[in-house]
Amino acid sequence: MTEKGILGPDQAEGLRRMMGSFANHDTKIIAITSGKGGVGKSSISLNLGIHLARMKESPQKVIVMDADLGLANINVLMGIIPKYNLMHVIKGQKKISEIIYKTEYNLDIIAGANGFSQLANLKDEEKQNLIQAIREISYADYIIIDTSAGISSNVISFLLAAHEIIVVATPEPTSITDAYGVIKAIVAETDNANIKLLMNRVSSPAEANKVSQRIIQICGQFLNIKVENLGFVFEDPVVAAAVKKQIPFAFLAPNAPVNLCLNHIAKRLLNIQVADEDKGWFKFLNAFFKRMPA
């Protein structure tokens, strides 16, 4: 597999071996990625993390890790400035356990490193050490890794270290082709990635379904991989309002459509049955999510 991929065979094999020992504890690692930048990865990573952490039926202990080492912004979305970030771990100045920041939103974060673009391409050893350090965090139910966009060797390493990969795309043609590109790059490294597709910024469930099914069909046909349809998130002005206020939209407007969508997605990840709601288009949406093919 790795002859076609970005990582060298030794590095890919090292990561796979490391993954074997994830079985030591129950922490599930989800990497959230995209081909194109600016499709909503960070917004979704943070707010999906909050939905999982606050799930009524089964609250989860969640850490959101900002793995963007050039343009990190998870902490900016919450208006917090952690004293330490991933760069301190990469430079060997701190252990990862020392940089985990407990937020008021019932989830912990590991901040990325802003403005370190010259260091954004980590050496193989630094990557292995970082992934090993993440692997050793055992108190969380979920670690959500918000990667940078595109297909760099850093990104691919984080994706290979995850149990599940969520590829975020929007219905724009460039985002669709780039989503296919990132899935192709993952398949070039591994035969058994668990890839889920999340369609963001859609105007209707029908649009989401049409675009998602097209990507899933092409991946099946040309890459011989089954990509799961995880769901969709509406285009919603609440997202921009939340960014400006530096309050996660899951908190700012819990009943906004965008949160109904993310709550359903969190339930799908947790295998929780979606309950019927009693009013208006929420009922329609619930019915839609229930019918949605995997």
- Which residues here bind ligand ATP, judged by CB under 6 A? 34, 37-43, 68, 71, 149, 200-201, 233, 235-236, 239-240, 243, 258
Cβ-in-10-Å burial (0-12, 13-18, 19+) of 247 comes to middle
Is 40 known to sit in a ligand binding site? yes
What is the smallest separation between the CB atom of 37 and ligand ATP, expressed in angstroms?
Answer: 3
Residue 292 Cα distances to 32, 63, 85, 206, 276, angstroms: 21, 28, 39, 11, 15
What is the smallest separation between the CB atom of 199 and ligand ATP, expressed in angstroms?
Answer: 10
Is 37 known to sit in a ligand binding site? yes
Considering the complex, state which of residue 27 and residue 148 has its C-beta at the smaller distance from ligand ATP.
148
Considering the complex, state which of residue 134 and residue 239 has its C-beta at the smaller distance from ligand ATP.
239
What is the smallest separation between the CB atom of 287 and ligand ATP, expressed in angstroms?
Answer: 21
What is the smallest separation between the CB atom of 52 and ligand ATP, expressed in angstroms?
Answer: 17
HEC-encoded secondary structure of 96-124: HHHHEEECCCCCEEECCCCCCHHHCCCCH
Considering the complex, state which of residue 41 and residue 264 has its C-beta at the smaller distance from ligand ATP.
41
Is 36 known to sit in a ligand binding site? yes
What span, in angstroms and rounded, lies between the C-alpha atoms of 189 and 139?
29
Considering the complex, state which of residue 206 and residue 240 has its C-beta at the smaller distance from ligand ATP.
240
Is 62 known to sit in a ligand binding site? no
Considering the complex, state which of residue 186 and residue 233 has its C-beta at the smaller distance from ligand ATP.
233
What is the smallest separation between the CB atom of 169 and ligand ATP, expressed in angstroms?
Answer: 10
Is 34 known to sit in a ligand binding site? no
What span, in angstroms and rounded, lies between the C-alpha atoms of 251 and 238?
11
Considering the complex, state which of residue 12 and residue 242 has its C-beta at the smaller distance from ligand ATP.
242
Is 42 known to sit in a ligand binding site? yes
Considering the complex, state which of residue 149 and residue 161 has its C-beta at the smaller distance from ligand ATP.
149
What span, in angstroms and rounded, lies between the C-alpha atoms of 163 and 186?
13
Nearest partner of 72 among 146, 152, 130, judged by Cα: 146
Task: Tell me 226's DSSP state.
Answer: -
What is the smallest separation between the CB atom of 234 and ligand ATP, expressed in angstroms?
Answer: 6
What span, in angstroms and rounded, lies between the C-alpha atoms of 272 and 154?
33
Is 220 known to sit in a ligand binding site? no
- The answer to whether residues 47 and 128 touch, using CB atoms and an 8 Å cutoff, is no
What span, in angstroms and rounded, lies between the C-alpha atoms of 73 and 67?
10
What is the smallest separation between the CB atom of 43 and ligand ATP, expressed in angstroms?
Answer: 3
> Can you give the length of the chain in residues?
294
Strands 100-102 and 164-169: unpaired
Q: CA angle, 145 as apex, 155 and 130 as ends, to 5°? A: 65
Q: Residues comprising the binding site?
A: 36-43
Q: Residues comprising the binding site for ATP?
A: 36-43
